[in-house]
Amino acid sequence: MLVPKGVNIYGKITQPLFFPIFKRISFPKFAPDILITDKCYQLSEYGINGYIMHTPGHTIGSLSVILDSGKAFVGCMAHNGLPFRIRPGLPIYAQDINSIKDCWISLIDKGVKMIYPGHGKPFPIEVIKEKLKYN
């Protein structure tokens, strides 16, 4: 299992404390029914106005669900709550933080307005824009 590394001071301090637990867990291998890579997967056939987008960085297989309303469910591409962050922002663990930043720029360019992180309460995209110094 590929374990994300700490990408800021808090992540670098806590990663050795939290992640040894995950090294002992094994998950069975599987073949995905749907493989999502560079092309977004439309959800309209399921009655959902939106799509799934491959957003690697936290882990290589990370996905986000983006609704036409501007809401984005991004999993661990962002955190907003303990034990990870006190305020909303980028994740503290990532396999590739630069890939996460590139994915955020794509999401911003697609018109995302509200972020629903995997941990913590939703927050506006302006928080991420500020962290990326995106105009």
- What is the count of structural domains for the chain? 1
Which pLDDT score, from 0 to 100, does residue 60 have?
85
Question: What is the domain-level CATH number for residue 38?
Answer: 3.60.15.10
Could you report the per-residue pLDDT of 99-112, keeping only the tens digit for each? 999 999 999 999 99
Q: Which domain holds residue 47?
A: 5-132
* CA dist 39 → 1, 18, 35, 74, 120 (Å): 25, 34, 10, 17, 28
Q: What is the pLDDT of residues 5-49, one digit of tens each?
A: 888 888 888 877 777 766 677 778 889 899 898 899 999 999 999
* 3-7, 68-72, 75-79: least confident range: 3-7
